[in-house]
Chains A and B, each alone.
Chain A
């Protein structure tokens, strides 16, 4: 156990945690927006997977990670369109549609990948890092924290932006009203349907970006089912963060670290079975739920389709 506090271990833990945590950050931020507006988006996993596939294809053919990430955003938003039409506009069951979207995304990405590449997995080039001059010199953690792809910094910026939007703008107020008391929003003359539609679209875009990050920045390849539950973990993070964007950062990094602890432990010379390690993030979630269940908070009108005049 002597190796646990060495630089290698801490660096691997922190940079690995960031690498695995950033897609969770995008995913759970998206889920936060949609949950606050009253839509429980169980299709997040599917949206992330579509983003991962489209992002990979985009980056592969354009040779640019940015085009890839944009393709991921587009694919995620496109997938969420189904949710907008079926759940927000028509009021269909959000859980059924969410499961359907996830199954469809898993099947379609696997089939498309198989039809195109068979069992080969082409690799993308590494993404260039942006190093922040002074801060990256901080011993131990400086380099792993402040030498990251640009999109990581963007991610944190988007969280702060969302926080500000919820706190200080009319848009944020409308979003929250759509989740807490949609009839009040309607009475104030703002369309609940439109507000929720934009929320779900934003969620899809962010989930797609998170998925794109997984395939383009994180792995550099696309493998079917590669999101491997990241979408579902994001949903839990969003629930535990109780709709507060800044807590989303903390949650994502924590879960990211529990995802990356395996590699870090191996670097420190401690071998534990990979299956045990893969259990860790999910076990953390369950443990967190058991401990903090009382405090998990969900908006009053979550999951309830809005029908004007219905009681």
Chain B
């Protein structure tokens, strides 16, 4: 009997920085117009959740928090093989910082019932903090392995939930460490983990079916509010966030003095570069 019945993966929809749409001339982002995508780091987390299911069984539930369009990434997760999705969507969540986000998501997890394993991406590309995963682990009083790049269930475990452990390899400066951790546990997945595999034919067909059958879609992907999960609205959104972005400044650059070579043959431009800099001093002899 597999010790793992439920696997959660937390994912986020972020603006696509590589698309030109929604990028204002001054470099700021118009989030309403920007192209949306699944946070690239979460692709590794989703792969880790799907690997767990393939190897050890269980069901994969993808969970997200955000405005209604975030349903798109839950559908994407199902195309890759997730079993179902939940979207926590509530206006009172607007302007949540990491602490408020972690509070809200931990309420979703408690509402759904704590799983054996929770996977998160290492961080998001729009926040870059890597904080929400460990902050959820703190709220749920779970052990965590952050920066995880490989893992397996400990075969010494006897299959009993109480004693099952997970062995994880996590990145450290200049190397890695292997840790053994009791479950339930939270894992944040590094981008040195396996990249997300292609969508499965079965998953893609399932999503096509869901898009034709609204009732079935609403059964497989549920939208939850703060009230549904019993979250205290004063601990969410602006009110529940201990941090605030007070001010933004243009970044002072040392540039403006770049000597650019352009439109000449490569040979000339390279020769000019080597003659006007100290690059040659570092050439291998």
Q: Do A and B bind each other?
A: no
Q: Show the binding face of B for A, using Cβ within 8 Å.
A: none
